[in-house]
Amino acid sequence: MSTTVTENVYNLIILDESGSMESIKSSIISGFNELVQSIRRAQTEFSTQSHFISLVTFSDDKTNFLLWNEPVSKLEYINEETYRPNCSTPLYDAIGRSVRRMKEVLPSHTKSGVLVTILTDGEENASREFTGPQIREMIDSLKTSDWTFTYIGANHDVEAAARKMAIKNTLNFKASETGVEDMFGREMNARMAYYQKRFEGLDVTGDFYQREEEDNKK
């Protein structure tokens, strides 16, 4: 017997492609491709959800929409050619452009949840279109509309950077092969917890990374 899809879940991943990510490039590619597999599993496990994924990378003054609003059945992996770190970190522009575009495609007739994951190994240093206060206002206005924002970072004060953007869900990682591997493992556990809560009709606010760490200590 088929199960009726009752909501769409939009997975928006905003990934730093600045030059400092070069040292962990292979690990990032591998981790992201495993993340794709976890979203595919979620599509099967949580049958009332229909999952879509968007991958946006950013460096210098560019925001690259490598995947946009793709259903899980059409997901493609990234590789050495499609992910090529270089230049600076226009973080605010990447967030602003991605969120603005996502707002335009959300259907008004279907229940939708948006999980935005921002992954960077450095702070904002090159945006030209959006400012910090503009991004904070944008995120604040969406958190009451079933948007969940998460910030994953290395080599800077992650909590302080997230607070500037009104983001409470944070995860630190070490910019090394093992550090990236550990980060993606924790991220996927927290992501599945988010999907599970949605599936059960429960509250999805709060810090899922913190919950995942607390569960590991039990």
Distance, in Å, from the CA atom of 6 to the CA atom of 133, rounded to the nearest integer, reads: 35
* Res. 215 pLDDT band, cuts 50 70 90: low
Instruction: Quote the distance between the C-alpha of residue 7 and its chain's center.
Output: 19
51 has a pLDDT exceeding 60? yes
CB 13, CB 99: distance < 8 Å: no
Non-local CB neighbours of 28 within 8 Å, separated by 6+ positions: 15, 21, 83, 119, 180
E strands, 72-166, are: 112-120, 147-153
Per-residue pLDDT averaged across 67-75, rounded?
Answer: 88
Question: Could you tell me the domains of the chain?
Answer: 7-217 (3.40.50.410)
1 has a pLDDT exceeding 50? no
pLDDT at 214: 54
Work out whether the CA dihedral 117, 67, 184, 122 comes out positive or negative: negative
Question: 10 Å Cβ neighbour count for 110?
Answer: 11
pLDDT tens sequence across 77-130: 899 999 999 999 999 999 999 999 999 988 777 788 999 999 999 989 899 999
pLDDT tens sequence across 146-172: 999 999 999 999 999 999 999 999 999
Please name the helix (run of DSSP H) or strand (run of DSSP E) that holds residue 132, with its range, or none. helix 132-142
**Could you tell me what percent of the chain has a pLDDT over 90?**
75
5 has a pLDDT exceeding 80? no
54 has a pLDDT exceeding 70? yes
Question: 10 Å Cβ neighbour count for 195?
Answer: 23
User: HSE-up of 35 (CA within 13 Å, CB side)?
Assistant: 27
Per-residue pLDDT averaged across 36-47, rounded?
Answer: 91
Distance, in Å, from the CA atom of 86 to the CA atom of 59, rounded to the nearest integer, reads: 6
